[in-house]
Chains A and B, each alone.
Chain A
């Protein structure tokens, strides 16, 4: 059987080699996508532009203002003169958040009464808003604790240091700097590889039907599996080259740590590639037209890989029905694997369930391809 597969693979390699467009799509495009997305998608929030209206002008309130000024999370851009300015500032986007210190702030605290700060936040981007609010409440909590410690100490006639305080000392594992590139780049590899391999592959059989060369091919003694394997070989090689380039880009450009072993990474990538190629091939066999194959392959891979893989939002927080659907998305398993290998240094012993899931998916897709590739006209 190998004697007929080799000429098929050779022919397919020549098609790729002689078409600069597909070469660019295969090698340049994934890199460009990873770099663009890697820089563009970031959940890191620093230096949020804020405004403060200090209606109290007490030493206590000025302490609070100076704390926000020295925080690296905030960039105190505007000190408001009156409440009326607030709406305009948020509306124009000059600041994302405004802290309003009420007139009786210091007096209430001195009396031992509760008091409240008003926080106005721009919720247009809910994610940024939530994270910024988190920073603010931490800052205020710290402010309150410090104040409390001081006043208790004063009452007891002790030095402030003598009062016990429980502090939460957190250590972040796997991604100590909480850099979102560490989380995003491995996910991007999954999405980009899925889309690019399926798209490139989907054009191959469709192109042969369009050019009439398929009719010539099926009138020869070639078998269906020979056509499929012959077409897979060069695209598989191209795909592995993509993986290598993207991994290099991720570690060198974005400094993503690669803690697991490379052999495991490339083995899982190879299995995942088969899934992507299988989807592309299946689309190609069914559509028989390049235009349609292109559209269908992008739609069936891009959206699920982005939305249902856990790339953007965690699968655990999706509705139950959607969670079930995500089990059909190969990128889901690959994403888990990649994040595990890159950040946690996982190996085969921990990743076998994902590897099995991907293998089953790949086998099913190729079984479907073999069934649908008819060596007859209709």
Chain B
């Protein structure tokens, strides 16, 4: 069996007396698109930050791309792409300068950077706007540029925290098209969201609430398990799962 891209056991994060992530365990296969669904404050961002090696877990174990999130965060940072919830490009830099900067800190050779830059500009639909200041771009373009910068260095594993939170439906569709394309090429994607219809496109999803995973599996399977029919909406699944978690 192929080793897992992401392998998490009993991962826990406490902030003082508050437990943000409470003993979660799951695995993500290579090339899989894994959705993390839950309301705001459920622990989605905390989990993604621990997996990226920028937040130290309180306890538990996590392996990302073969490296431990506790002892080898610097190795993890070399093979991942991370797009945080907040818009984190430099607004006072142009589109091209932002791309160059990301290429630079990932040490892409000049020829490779040039080729990837063209690809990102085409993907984001920003050809001809290379010299526009990033802060002047509209929401959807900023989002695609941020994604472009996150995948500029062709990471093995991509972490996206609420990637389409402020994006119009058309851009969102394009965005998912791109994620599928990357998945076919072997990129593993870990994506958080609180939009039900969005995570429906994932291969597998985990529903998280109060720092605990209350359901995990392919969307269709979860629908049958919690709502009794394949045609149910994920919304129904979500409500049923949460009620189930309350009663147990």
Given contacts A8-B105, A14-B97, contact A376 B82 (CB under 8 A): no
Interface membership of B3, Cβ < 8 A: no
Partner of A219, one of B80, B89, B91, B93: B80
Q: Are A7 and B54 in contact (CB under 8 A)?
A: no
Q: Using Cβ atoms and an 8 Å threshold, which residues of chain A touch B56? A: 376
> Does A3 lie at the interface of the complex (its beta carbon under 8 Å from any beta carbon of B)?
yes
Contacting A at CB under 8 A, from B86-131, are: 86-93, 97, 100-107
- Does A212 lie within 8 Å of B90, measured CB to CB? no
Task: Give the chain B neighbours of A221 by CB distance below 8 A.
Answer: 74, 77-78, 105-107
Q: Which chain B residue shows the least CB distance to A7?
A: B104
In the assembled complex, the Cα of A220 lies from the Cα of B54 at a distance in Å of 10
- In the complex the two chains form, is B88's CB within 8 Å of A213's CB? yes
Given known A-B contacts A216-B82, A222-B105, A376-B55, A11 and B74 have beta carbons under 8 A apart? no
- When distances are taken between beta carbons in the complex, the residues of chain A under 8 Å from B211 are none
Query: B183 in the interface, Cβ–Cβ < 8 Å?
Result: no
**Are B54 and A219 in contact (CB-based, < 8 A)?**
yes
Separation of A212 and B92 alpha carbons in the complex (Å): 14
- B92 with A219: CB separation less than 8 A: no
Contact B54 A376 (CB under 8 A): yes
Which residues from chain B contact A211 at a C-beta distance below 8 Å? Answer: 86, 88, 91
The smallest C-beta distance from A118 to any residue of chain B, in angstroms, reads 69
CA of A219 to CA of B100, assembled, Å: 17
Q: Cα distance A152–B203 when bound, in Å? A: 118
Indicate whether A320 reaches chain B with its CB closer than 8 angstroms: no
Chain A: how many interface residues by the 8 Å CB criterion? 25
Query: Within residues 34 to 89 of chain B, which ones have a CB less than 8 A from any CB in chain A?
Result: 49, 52-56, 73-74, 77-78, 80, 82, 84, 86-89
Chain A 1-25 per-residue mask, 1 if CB under 8 angstroms from chain B, else 0: 0011011101100110011000000
Q: Does A104 contact B (CB under 8 A)?
A: no
Residues of A within 8 A of B97 (CB): 11, 14
- B93: chain A residues at CB < 8 Å are 11, 14-15, 18
State the Cβ distance, A374 to closest chain B Cβ, in Å: 10
- B106-A220 in contact (CB<8A): yes
A165 adjacent to chain B (CB < 8 Å): no
Residues of A within 8 A of B86 (CB): 211-212, 215
Q: Tell me whether A375 is interfacial, beta carbon within 8 Å.
A: yes
Q: Which of A211-259 contact B (CB under 8 A)?
A: 211-213, 215-222
The interface size of chain B toward A, counting residues with CB under 8 Å, comes to: 30
Q: Is A377 an interface residue (CB 8 A)?
A: yes
Name the distance in Å between B213's Cβ and chain A's nearest Cβ. Answer: 22
Q: Which residue of B lies closest to A215 (CB)?
A: B84
User: Is the CB–CB distance between A6 and B90 below 8 Å?
Assistant: no
B54 and A11 form a contact (CB under 8 A): no
Please state if B88 and A377 are interface contacts (CB–CB under 8 Å). Answer: no
Task: Please report the C-alpha to C-alpha distance between residue A8 and residue B102 in the assembled complex, in whole angstroms.
Answer: 10
Contact between B77 and A215, CB atoms less than 8 A apart: no
Q: Are A4 and B105 in contact (CB under 8 A)?
A: yes
Alpha-carbon separation in the docked complex, A155 to B184 (Å): 121
In-complex Cβ contact of A215 among B54, B73, B91, B103 (8 A): B54
From known contacts A221-B74, A376-B73, A377-B54, infer whether A216 and B88 are also in contact, taking CB-CB under 8 Å. Answer: yes
B77 touches A14 (CB 8 A): no
Shortest distance in angstroms between A35's beta carbon and chain B's nearest beta carbon?
A: 31
CA distance A213 to B101 in the complex (A): 12
Q: How far is the CB of B163 from chain A (nearest CB, A)?
A: 14
Taken together as a complex, chains A and B put the C-alpha atoms of A344 and B133 apart, in Å, by 51
Residue from the set A3, A11, A211, A216 with the largest chain B CB neighbour count within 10 Å: A216
A6 to B100, CA, bound (A): 11
Q: Which of A6, A10, A218 has the most CB of B within 10 A?
A: A218
Least CB distance, B114 to chain A, in whole angstroms:
15
A3 vs B108: C-alpha distance in the bound complex, in angstroms?
A: 9
Residues of chain A lying within 8 A (CB to CB) of residue B78:
221
CA distance A211 to B92 in the complex (A): 12
B77, A18: Cβ atoms closer than 8 Å = no
* Inter-subunit contact B104/A6 (CB<8 Å): yes
Residues of B within 8 A of A375 (CB): 54, 73
With a cutoff of 8 Å between Cβ atoms, the chain A residues found around residue B102 in the complex are: 220
CB distance B105 to A7 under 8 Å?
yes
Q: If the complex has contacts A212-B88, A213-B90, are A7 and B55 also in contact, measured as CB distance less than 8 A?
A: no
Contacts of B53 in A (CB 8 A): 219, 376
Query: What 9 pairs between A and B have smallest CB-CB spacing?
Result: A7-B104, A212-B86, A216-B88, A219-B82, A18-B92, A221-B77, A221-B78, A212-B88, A377-B55
19 example contacts (A-B, Cβ-Cβ < 8 A) are as follows A4-B104, A7-B101, A7-B103, A7-B104, A10-B101, A10-B104, A11-B101, A14-B92, A14-B97, A15-B90, A211-B86, A211-B88, A212-B84, A212-B86, A213-B90, A219-B82, A221-B78, A376-B56, A377-B55
